[in-house]
A = this chain, B = another copy of it.
Amino acid sequence: MTTATAPHKSETHPTPKAYGDLASLVRESGVLQSIGGILSWDQETMMPPEGVDHRSTQLSLLARLAHQTAVSPRVRDLLAACEADGPFMASGSAEAANVREMRRDFDKLSKLPESHVAEFAALTAKAQHAWIGARSKSCFADFEPWLRKIVQLSRDRAQLLGIPAGGEPWDALADSYEPDCTAAKVEAVFHPLRKRLASFIAEIAAAPKRPSNRFNEHALPIEAQERFVRMVVTAIGFDFTRGRLDTSTHPFCGGSHCDDTRLTTRYSETCVNDALGSSMHEAGHGMYEQGLLRSEIGLPSGTAISLAVHESQSRLWENQVGRSRFFWTWCAPKLAECFGAAGTGFGVEELYGAANVVEPGFIRVDADEATYNLHVMVRFEIERLLISGALDTKDLPGEWNRRYKEYLGLTVPDDRRGCLQDVHWSMGAIGYFPTYTLGTLYSAQFFDAARAAIPGLEAGLAHGEFAPLKAWLNREIHAHGRRYGSEELCRRVTGKGLSFEPYLAYLEGKLRPLYGI
């Protein structure tokens, strides 16, 4: 309503209004995605088996509605209105950074028709279910028709998204997980890294001594393992008033919000380190989610940068912390508290050694730090071939097993311990795997920076003082959301770009003394 005394022009600047409306719409799309987060978590942990068809319908509808909102004409117009305001965009504000990232998302999503998005969501919800069944029967043939459809839809998706100049279809897919990632960039890191790792692993294989594996073969009741793992995850800083820990076929971190972050793990009767490692790993992811700014959730400023940076957080807690002598100094007495007599008889040095046994194995998530990246490289190379069309899905097990023999010296005994072990491809996540190694490299760089920034960090860990590290990660990494890209954040935090040297220095610094090499 205008009155005679009202000012001629609105006192409200037009851009803040447009920005507010834009933010509301983007948040609404985020709420729909967050609902999908709960339904996906539920599917892996709680849903009765026959519920899968309707779940697929639900997830497909949510994906379609979230997409509709994200690419609506209203979002397009509001984005343009914000961008037209030069001073606003040049302000260096968090809002301007959000508009920049919203533009990135809008342009990318606008290339995908709604029908493709709905079809992809419906297919992958069912395919994950098929994967669980095929994996439990160790029968790739049961999963192959689903993977074939996923690869075909992913190729379509790559074409729709557009292949970068001089790039390949895989690049278009990877960009969704790691912005600006390309196969060529990955290869430039992986190729020399593989050589360095191979020769180091060979040195270890021929080493004059090796840590005892006794603790890794020490049976402990699963109920007590659950209590133990929950105690550790709480101690390192995961907030259970804002999260959960359950079991699933494949450990993951899901949920829907910084106040509702859900971890899963899995238990082995004979090795508590499996559940401990995967739980600390997922808790690292979970603490990133819990560390996002509540007020920014649903906006780029309240969203994790990339999967590589996400993985840096999980690997840091799993490895730099969880496989350190400092951690086991704190943890050793806890074993007796949780397991009673069965938790005694292992000293700090033996436990530290057991956490660092290097032994090529079949399962990526249970791998030691030296061989872990070889698992990732196999997957990267294979998915690149699948997407380029050079490898037919029918030939996947043979190709997988051939590379495991070549890279890890292992004869894969069955598909469950081979190409059916990971959930990712069934989720349609092609282009995702390399972020595990990129994140592993970042984790070493970030931990070096934390050690330099926090006096007495490691001595503190030995006393169970995990809070300073978490607070540093909250401040230096989590609180920024997507304000900086991965490489830019790495430079800000560590003073350097991505490199595998800090990781190799960390690895060799730890393993050479343990193996007497």
Task: Please report which residues of chain A, range 41-79, place their CB below 8 angstroms from some CB of chain B when the two chains form the complex.
Answer: 42, 46-51, 53-55, 57-58, 61-62, 65
Best-surrounded residue of A46, A49, A51, A61 (most CB of chain B within 10 A): A51
A196 to chain B, nearest CB (A): 43
Total number of A residues with any Cβ neighbor in B under 8 Å: 33
Assess whether A244 is in contact with B46, with CB atoms less than 8 Å apart.
Answer: yes
Instruction: Choose from B53, B241, B297 the contact partner of A49 (Cβ within 8 Å).
Output: B241
Partner of A51, one of B31, B47, B62, B242: B242
**Contact with A256, one of B58, B239, B256 (Cβ below 8 angstroms):** B58
A243: interface (CB < 8 Å)? yes
Stretch of A32-40, A399-407, A466-474 on the interface side: A32-40
- In the complex, which residues of chain B have a beta carbon less than 8 angstroms from the beta carbon of A65? 65
- A88 near B: Cβ within 8 Å? no
* In the complex, chain B residues whose CB is within 8 Å of the CB of A32: 61
Interface presence of A28 (CB below 8 A): yes
Query: Which residues does chain B contribute within 8 Å of A480, judged by CB atoms?
Result: none
- Contact partners of A51 in chain B: CB under 8 A: 242, 256-257, 259-260
- Out of B35, B38, B241, name the residue touching A50 (CB < 8 Å): B241
Partner of A54, one of B47, B243, B259: B259
Q: Which of B31, B42, B53 contacts A38 (CB 8 A)?
A: B42
Q: Which of A217-268 contact B (CB under 8 A)?
A: 239-244, 256-257, 259-260
Closest to A35 in B: B58
Inter-chain contacts of A256 with B (CB < 8 A): 51, 54, 58
A344 to B51, CA, bound (A): 38
Measured CB to CB, the nearest residue on chain B to A53 is: B259
How many copies of this chain are found per oligomer?
Answer: 2
8 Å CB contact of A47 from B48, B55, B240, B260: B260
Contacts of A58 in B (CB 8 A): 31, 34-35, 38, 256
Cα distance, A244 to B48, chains bound together (Å): 7
Do the beta carbons of B35 and A242 come within 8 Å of each other? no
Binary interface encoding of chain A residues 394-419 relative to chain B, with 1 for a CB under 8 A from any of its CBs, else 0: 00000000000000000000000000
Complex: A24 Cα to B481 Cα, angstroms:
39
A458 and B171 alpha carbons, distance in the complex (Å) = 68
Given known pairs A48-B243, A65-B65, the reply for A260 and B35 (CB within 8 Å) is: no
- Using Cβ atoms and an 8 Å threshold, which residues of chain B touch A239? 50
Whether B48 pairs with A241 at a CB distance below 8 angstroms is yes
Q: Determine the chain B residues whose CB is within 8 A of the CB of A28 once the complex forms.
A: 61
Tell me the complex Cα distance, A28–B57, Å.
9
Residues of chain B contacted by A50 (CB below 8 angstroms): 239, 241-242, 259-260
Please report the C-alpha to C-alpha distance between residue A50 and residue B262 in the assembled complex, in whole angstroms: 13
The CA of A239 and the CA of B50, in the complex, are separated in Å by 10
Expressed in whole angstroms, the minimum distance between the Cβ of A150 and any Cβ of chain B is 23
CB neighbours of A42 from chain B (8 A): 38, 42
User: In angstroms, how far is the closest chain B Cβ from the Cβ of A181?
Assistant: 30
How many angstroms from the CA of A38 to the CA of B35 in the assembled complex? 10
**Cβ of A35 and Cβ of B62 under 8 Å apart?**
yes
Closest chain B residue, CB of each to CB of A260: B51
For A54, what are the chain B residues with a Cβ–Cβ distance below 8 Å? 34, 256-257, 259-260, 297
How far is A28 from B61 in the complex, measured between Cα atoms in Å? Answer: 8
**Residues from chain B with Cβ under 8 Å of A48 in the complex:** 240-244, 259-260
In the complex, A447 Cα to B49 Cα: how many Å?
A: 32
Q: Which of A46, A54, A61, A242 has the most B CB atoms < 10 Å from its CB?
A: A54
A248 CB to nearest chain B CB (Å): 13
Interfacial chain B residues near A244, Cβ < 8 Å: 46, 48
Check if A35 sits within 8 Å of B39, measured CB to CB: yes
Complex CA gap A243/B49 in Å reads 8
Beyond A47-B260, A49-B241, A54-B257, 6 additional contacts (C-beta under 8 Å) are A34-B58, A35-B35, A50-B260, A51-B257, A51-B260, A54-B260
12 residue pairs A–B, Cβ–Cβ below 8 Å? A32-B61, A35-B39, A38-B38, A46-B46, A46-B244, A48-B242, A51-B256, A51-B257, A54-B256, A54-B257, A54-B259, A54-B260
Residue positions of A touching B, CB distance < 8 A: 28, 31-32, 34-35, 38-39, 42, 46-51, 53-55, 57-58, 61-62, 65, 239-244, 256-257, 259-260, 297
